[in-house]
Amino acid sequence: MDVVIVGGGIGGLTLALRLHRAGIPCRVFEAAPEIKPLGVGINLLPHASKELTELGLQDALARVAITTSQIAYYNRFGQLIYSDPCGRHAGYEWPQFCIHRGDLQMVLLDAVVERLGADRLITNHRCVGVDQDDSGATVHFEHTTTKQKLPSQRGAIVVSCEGIHSIIRKQFFPNEGPPRYSGLNMWRGVTRWKPFLDGASFVRIGWHKPAKVLIYPIRDHIDAEGRQLINWVCDIEQETPIPQRDWNRQGRIDDFIGAIENWRFDWLDVPAMCRAADQILEYPMVDQDPLPRWSHGRVTLLGDAAHPMLPRGANGGAQAILDCTALADSLAHIADPVAALAAYEERRRPATTKVVLTNRSEPPDAVLYEVYKRSGDKPFRHIDDVISQSELAGLLKRYQRVAGFDKEKLEAAAGR
């Protein structure tokens, strides 16, 4: 069996490593002329780091990431609502990492080149369509730069790891509606800044009226001053969405800074940090309704090509990584490729559908909304006057179960 993987992002490269580990040959075709360490921050929760640990990547990740100690929730007045230890600090066997997306990409890329060989990763190949017959599937490509037609590539199966703009998804669902806008726009950036709190905290602040901000470090000791690279995200309710679903769209500080201008706390000056960003990007908070199916004969979807979800709770990359394990397991244990793809979909589509829908109705930061609502968006004397710690813990636990990183469930799956 030879697998053709379309897309060399997190999903495509992780799948290549999983297939290689299972003894299944594959080739990865990437549209970009060169895979570069681009992007901003990403959070690898224990269920994702567990899968990457099984691929022998934990040490490489730890060298370039921040091993997160806690997730701390604050209101917009800088008052602590709840602090939840995470990863190994919470008793998991696997760490939680906050990492630059480009650093994660390079860790995966280096492993693919080392284990599979550089000839198994082919760049400058943009997919323009796929067809299949009873014995295999064929992907058609054009050169990304010159637009010239390239030789088609055939495999026993084809997996679309093309992300939110998947050509193969569009081929199978040509009449799919536009992205579903959540009513939130998002601005994000990275800033060279001194460590805050314990230097390894993931912080969520406020609610979408007037703004919610996520902040976490993704690189340590980046200069002689001991600064870190800090990733931040600002979400604001707006009736009109940002016009393009483009992760690289440039944003402007003036479009959101007014909502957080007074967020100056004794542990962090939020507006000053945002103003000092190396780069600001903007993105509409959108997802797509879950598909009725992913697999079509010998062709299937994976990651954002299969289940684009709201960028909440570090689930985009994590769910793609979990997809890779399920798909490789199915191909390793089921001889018929069509049946293997059907089994993969049966295992993963209901789980990711639940995450997509939960992100809409009860996101991982629902504790912030509860405090916002019950306090009337005013400072509190003590958080227990607003909501109990046990109720806050219960809200977080429910999301962990849905997303698949509940500690007991993870340990049971690992046979411990």
Secondary structure string (H, E, C) spanning 245-282: CCCCCECCHHHCHHHHCCCECCCCEHHHHHHCEEEEEE
Task: Give per-residue pLDDT as tens, 182-221.
Answer: 999 999 999 999 999 999 999 999 998 899 999 999 999 9
Q: What is the pLDDT of residue 363?
A: 75
Supply the pLDDT for residue 209.
Answer: 87
For residue 115, pLDDT beyond 80: yes
Q: Does residue 281 surpass a pLDDT of 90?
A: yes
CATH of domain 3-38+102-178+291-361: 3.50.50.60
Mean pLDDT to the nearest integer, 358-376: 88
What residue has token string 């709201």? 310
Amino acid at 373: K
- State the Cα–Cα distance between residues 124 and 113, nearest whole angstrom: 17
d(CA 198, CA 80): 14
Express each pLDDT in 11-28 by its tens digit. 999 999 999 999 999 999
Percent share of the chain, pLDDT over 70? 99
Long-range contacts of 336-340 (CB under 8 A, 24+ apart): 337/1, 337/156, 337/157, 337/298, 338/295, 338/297, 338/298, 340/157
Mean pLDDT within 310-320: 85
Residue 415's pLDDT is: 58
In this model, does residue 409 exceed pLDDT 80?
no
Higher pLDDT, 5 or 315: 5
Listed range (7-11, 40-44, 255-259, 380-384) with the worst mean pLDDT: 40-44
Average pLDDT in the chain: 93
What pLDDT band is residue 226 in, cutting at 50, 70 and 90?
A: very high
Reply yes or no on whether the pLDDT at 57 is more than 60: yes
**pLDDT of res. 243:** 74
User: How far apart (Å, rounded) are the C-alpha atoms in residues 291 and 173?
Assistant: 9
Q: How many CB atoms lie within 10 A of CB 412?
A: 10
Nearest alpha carbon to residue 125 among 145, 99, 155: 145
What is the rounded CA–CA span in Å between residue 143 and residue 123? Answer: 9
Q: How confident is the model at residue 398 (pLDDT cuts 50, 70, 90)?
A: confident
Higher-confidence position of 19 and 246: 19
> Which range, of 270-279, 296-305, 353-362, averages the lowest pLDDT?
353-362
Is the whole-model pTM more than 0.85? yes
Phi, psi of 336 (to 5 degrees): -80, 115
- If we measure between CA atoms, which residue out of 367, 374, 363 comes closest to residue 389? 367
* DSSP 3-state percent helix, strand, coil across the chain (nearest 5): 35, 30, 35
Cα distances (angstroms) measured from residue 111 to each of 47, 118, 380: 20, 10, 50
Instruction: Provide the pLDDT for residue 144.
Output: 96
Mean pLDDT of all residues in 84-93: 91
